[in-house]
Amino acid sequence: MLENRLVGAAAAAIALASAACGSSDPAGSGGDGTLAFTTWGEEFIEVEIPPDPGDGSGFVDGWSVSYDKFLVNFRNIVVASSRGETAQSMTGSMLFDNKLAGVKSIVQWTLPAQAWDRVSYEIAPVDEATTLAGGATDEDKALMLAGGYSLYASGTATKDQEQKTFAWGFAIGTRYNECQSEQGGTEQSGVVVTNNTSLDVELTTHGDHLFYDRLQASPDPAIATSLRFDALAAADADADGEVTLAELEATLLDVRSYDPSGLGAVNYGQFVTSLARTVGHFRGEGECTVSGL
């Protein structure tokens, strides 16, 4: 179900409420536990984003999108606390292709068993030292290096007999700070590590976000955030069947269908680039405070 989620813009930090943990050791356990970070692209990236079946989860204008690649470069995962302690931080960066099916391992640590309520990570441009992982190839790394990209998405959009391809590389860096998620019906900041147990924390990427029609959720719950592709398809000015970022940047945003939410996007290229900052999530649907690097 497509939720009416808050999404960010290129220069905007999106403040999210941080739910405080009850104590530094809520399990009262002491000792150590294992914390493993993974990534996954969900079915929208692995399979397709369908036309809307009537519940708001697909394209409301009848398109579907299948990805060929969804390259994402993770860097600087940090596990810390609001008390000023840092348990671990990731060195270097790792490039994944989340089109590859399944959950993929990023890093694993043994940490003191307690609440670590300040978890953050970055999706940042690839560098020469970036490690390949989870389906990414040498050719993918060369592509990302050449463009200065942190995120690259390519695929095909289809509606009836019409098809449009796209290959969008985003030369931006984004920090996801103070991550939180719902656990057991309660909003939890960061993670809770307990003694002699293993906890998997997924840095989920949401491929549907690139096609939202709003940069910020409406305060009116009756106004949904929807997936659309008609206007992007129409931006194919040379009618060669490929929608490029340059063509999107040359097309003024139609504010009758797209809401820039006062965040400065005046063309579709700026709009989609702003949406690209929102693909990173925490433990599925969990959110973080988003800012540019």
85 has a pLDDT exceeding 90: yes
Report the helix count and the strand count for the chain, using DSSP H and E: 5, 16
Confidence label for 17 from pLDDT (cuts 50, 70 and 90) = very low
pLDDT of res. 241: 98
In this predicted model, what pLDDT tens digit does every residue of 30-66 receive, in sequence order?
A: 799 999 999 999 999 999 999 999 998 999 999 999 9
Distance in angstroms (rounded) separating the CA atoms of residues 98 and 116: 27
Bridge partners, residue 212, by sequence: 227
In this predicted model, what pLDDT tens digit does every residue of 117-131 receive, in sequence order?
A: 999 999 999 999 999
Distance in angstroms (rounded) separating the CA atoms of residues 188 and 190: 6
* Tokens, residue 284: 């599925």
Distance in angstroms (rounded) separating the CA atoms of residues 50 and 46: 12
In this predicted model, what pLDDT tens digit does every residue of 163-220 receive, in sequence order?
A: 999 999 999 999 999 999 999 899 999 999 999 999 999 999 999 999 999 998 888 8
146 has a pLDDT exceeding 60: yes
Single-letter amino acid code for the residue at 167: A
Single-letter amino acid code for the residue at 39: T
Distance in angstroms (rounded) separating the CA atoms of residues 28 and 42: 35
pLDDT of res. 221: 86
pLDDT of res. 218: 85
Confidence label for 264 from pLDDT (cuts 50, 70 and 90) = confident
16 has a pLDDT exceeding 70: no
Kindly give, in sequence order, each residue whose CB lies less than 8 Å from that of residue 142, ignoring residues fewer than 6 positions away.
Answer: none
Confidence label for 29 from pLDDT (cuts 50, 70 and 90) = low
Kindly give, in sequence order, each residue whose CB lies less than 8 Å from that of residue 214, ignoring residues fewer than 6 positions away.
Answer: 7, 225, 258, 259, 261
Single-letter amino acid code for the residue at 94: M
pLDDT of res. 6: 38
* Tokens, residue 266: 């005046």
9 has a pLDDT exceeding 60: no
pLDDT of res. 263: 83
Arithmetic mean of pLDDT, 260-275: 93
* Tokens, residue 287: 């959110």
pLDDT of res. 261: 86
CA 229, 230, 235, 239 torsion: positive or negative? positive
For the chain, percent of residues with pLDDT exceeding 70? 90
pLDDT of res. 217: 86
92 has a pLDDT exceeding 60: yes
In this predicted model, what pLDDT tens digit does every residue of 167-177 receive, in sequence order?
A: 999 999 999 99
Q: What string of DSSP letters covers 46-115?
A: HT-BPBP-SSSSSBTTS-EEEEEEEEEEEEEEEEE-TTS-EEEE--SEEEEETTSSS-EEEEEEEEESSE
Bridge partners, residue 286, by sequence: 282
Instruction: Pick the range with the lowest mean pLDDT from 212-226, 229-243, 271-285.
Output: 212-226
Residue whose C-alpha is closest to residue 196's, from 20, 37, 86, 33? 33
Bridge partners, residue 259, by sequence: 214
Q: Which residue has the higher pLDDT, 223 or 172?
A: 172
**Burial class of residue 161 (count of CB atoms within 10 Å of its CB; 0-12, 13-18, 19+):** exposed
166, containing H or E segment = strand 162-170
**Burial class of residue 188 (count of CB atoms within 10 Å of its CB; 0-12, 13-18, 19+):** buried
